[in-house]
Amino acid sequence: MISARPTPFLIAPAILALLFISACQHEPRPSGQNGSEQGRPAPLLLISIDGFRYDYFDLAETPALDRLVAGGLKADSLHHVFPTKTFPTHYTMVTGRHPGTHGVVANSMWDPIRDQRFSLGNRDAVGDGYWYQDGEPIWVTAERQGLTSATFFWPGSEARINRIRPTFWKPYAGDTPHADRIEQVLDWFDLADDGRPDLVTLYFSLVDSMGHRHGPRADAVRDALVDVDRHLQDLFDGLDKRGWLDRMHVIVVSDHGMSRVDFDQYIMLDDYLDLSRVTVSDWGPAAQIWATDSSAEEIFQALDGAHPRMRVWLREDIPARYRFGTHHRVPDVVAEADLEWMISNRPFMAGRSRFQLLGMHGWDPALAEMHGMFVAHGPAFTAGSRIPAVRAIDLYELMTHLLGINAASNEGSISPFQPLLFSTYPARVEELRFQCEEGELRVRIGPAHAAIHWQDLIHVLDPIDGNTAEGRDWQEVDLSLRIDHGGASAVLDDLELGPCLPLPIDH
């Protein structure tokens, strides 16, 4: 359904850039659309700390985050989507669609229909709604249903998507001081009720930048965490002082984790492929390759088995649990390196030093090191609640539910969160450990989903209806788990585990 909402505000990009200096952009809202105060939902503040790996909580003192964790819900981690990069994962969180559906398939991508490239450094592309129109971000859903939204950065938020923008938004400027971001968010909450946003997004890139430059868990990453947390403290104190903090929902997420990379672990694609006959739209942990002057089959044959640390798939053979294969921006061939390995080419690497890049992300979202963080606070979340790893794809359903609006068509589900909402008791994680022939299997079970921790992977699975006292089953595409009196058995991609015997439970 296309909204009839008018968008009376069209400014050339150059003028836009000038306007940014003084203030955020403001799209006037048509009169009479907003609900009455009584019918209005608790405000929702969605905060992203880019590159905050799930295990960073023990890296630094983070009193502001700890306050939310103590008073609300924390998941072990946030399972993202492929590829685990900023634009695809952020757009998944706000649309409930996989990159292979919403179409933001990389930070750098090629659109064969338009014959155009997108990269996150390209202002015109980043602000062009064409790239985002196959998903409906939550601010569009909210605005269409009469709510007001405000974004202090979020991938996609500068663009008119299906003709709608947030009421308040900012052109991305990574050097905006953190204090200014906090001040603006507080100012939004100070607006008179009929102007105050119902949905606010806030974004910080510093932890990610330090992770890339110095490697995960480096001192500089710790300092960045402390800095972001100090500003969050100011924000939460400010919201508290205004009487908002306990009357609103705050969700803090990150868009992926971070892994170390090694200068000696680069796979040079030009050793195997004539790069003049293909187009590579994205490089790094995974390469997205188009058959421009060759066939997909030729590329596949050239790369299949070429390097022991690299896998290659034709579009139709990409593993089902990546859910990547459908959008026209998904390339003919995807090559993925092992964790800590990168795919590049000799001209690009010439003259690079081993100290330029010590951290990266973009690999299989199930790898623990690619998992982000998730914390939620507010009336719907019971203090002290803990759950296993949750999926980023389910956040859109959760957030539209919290805002009391109808979700657009999406691929997520509220099920993992449903039993937690407004519950009397805090949710607890049941942990079971099993010894399999191939190693130890750890299962973390929540009220409505479970996570399998196997070697360096964390998978999220849904319960199968009809679980009984005799046995409990969970599943996900290419994955399954059964626990019964005899122990556990599991299928993880091509691996069949079991029977695995119960191990004593740690207390």
Decide if residue 86 touches Zn ion (CB under 5 A): yes
Decide if residue 174 touches ligand AMP (CB under 6 A): yes
Helices 86-95 and 395-403 meet at what angle, rounded to 10?
A: 40
Query: CB 15 → ligand AMP: shortest distance, Å?
Result: 19
List % helix, strand, coil for the chain (3-state, nearest 5): 30, 25, 45
| 209 or 423: CB nearest Zn ion | 209
Decide if residue 446 touches ligand AMP (CB under 6 A): no
| 51 or 388: CB nearest Zn ion | 51
H or E element: which one contains 301? Answer: helix 296-303
| 86 or 148: CB nearest Zn ion | 86
Cβ atoms of 10 and 165 within 8 Å: the answer is: no
| 120 or 186: CB nearest ligand AMP | 120
Decide if residue 85 touches ligand AMP (CB under 6 A): yes
Decide if residue 282 touches Zn ion (CB under 5 A): no
Whole-angstrom Cα distance, residue 54 to residue 78? 7
Decide if residue 153 touches ligand AMP (CB under 6 A): yes
Decide if residue 421 touches ligand AMP (CB under 6 A): no
Whole-angstrom Cα distance, residue 282 to residue 403? 36
| 126 or 339: CB nearest ligand AMP | 126
Single out the residue of 27, 158, 198, 255 in contact with Zn ion (rule: CB under 5 A).
Answer: 255
Decide if residue 169 touches ligand AMP (CB under 6 A): no
Query: CB 45 → Zn ion: shortest distance, Å?
Result: 19
Whole-angstrom Cα distance, residue 219 to residue 95? 34
Whole-angstrom Cα distance, residue 373 to residue 365? 13
| 85 or 453: CB nearest Zn ion | 85
Cβ atoms of 78 and 54 within 8 Å: the answer is: yes
Decide if residue 51 touches ligand AMP (CB under 6 A): yes
The catalytic residue positions are 86
Whole-angstrom Cα distance, residue 454 to residue 279? 36
Q: State the burial class of residue 149 (Cβ atoms within 10 Å of its Cβ: 0-12, 13-18, 19+).
A: buried
Query: CB 201 → ligand AMP: shortest distance, Å?
Result: 10
Query: CB 255 → Zn ion: shortest distance, Å?
Result: 4
Whole-angstrom Cα distance, residue 109 to residue 426? 43
- List of residues 6+ apart from 465 with CB closer than 8 A: none
296 binds, among ligand AMP, Zn ion, none (CB under 5 to 8 A by kind): none
Looking at residues 179 to 238 of the shown chain, list those that interact with ligand AMP (rule: CB under 6 A): 205, 208-209
Q: What is the 3-state secondary structure (H, E, C) of 122-167?
A: CHHHHCCHHHHCCCCCHHHHHHHCCCCEEEECCCCCCCCECCECCC
Q: Which of helix, strand or coil describes residue 19?
A: helix
Decide if residue 369 touches Zn ion (CB under 5 A): no
391 binds, among Zn ion, ligand AMP, none (CB under 5 to 8 A by kind): none
Query: x/- binding map, residues 215-234, to Zn ion, per CB under 5 A?
Result: --------------------
Cβ atoms of 310 and 341 within 8 Å: the answer is: yes
- List of residues 6+ apart from 227 with CB closer than 8 A: 178, 206
126 binds, among ligand AMP, Zn ion, none (CB under 5 to 8 A by kind): ligand AMP
Amino acid at 21: I
How many positions of this chain bind ligand AMP (CB under 6 A)?
14
| 85 or 459: CB nearest ligand AMP | 85
Decide if residue 107 touches ligand AMP (CB under 6 A): yes
Decide if residue 50 touches Zn ion (CB under 5 A): yes
476 binds, among ligand AMP, Zn ion, none (CB under 5 to 8 A by kind): none
* Cβ atoms within 10 Å of 299's Cβ, excluding its own: 25
Between the alpha carbon of residue 179 and those of residues 80, 201, 361, 453, the distances in Å are 29, 15, 28, 38
Decide if residue 125 touches ligand AMP (CB under 6 A): no
Decide if residue 76 touches Zn ion (CB under 5 A): no
Asked whether the bond before 499 is cis by omega within 30 degrees of 0, the reply is yes
Query: x/- binding map, residues 370-409, to Zn ion, per CB under 5 A?
Result: ----------------------------------------
Whole-angstrom Cα distance, residue 368 to residue 147? 37
Decide if residue 86 touches ligand AMP (CB under 6 A): yes
Residues forming the site for ligand AMP (CB under 6 A):
50-51, 85-86, 107, 120, 126, 153, 155, 172, 174, 205, 208-209
Residues forming the site for Zn ion (CB under 5 A):
50, 86, 208, 255
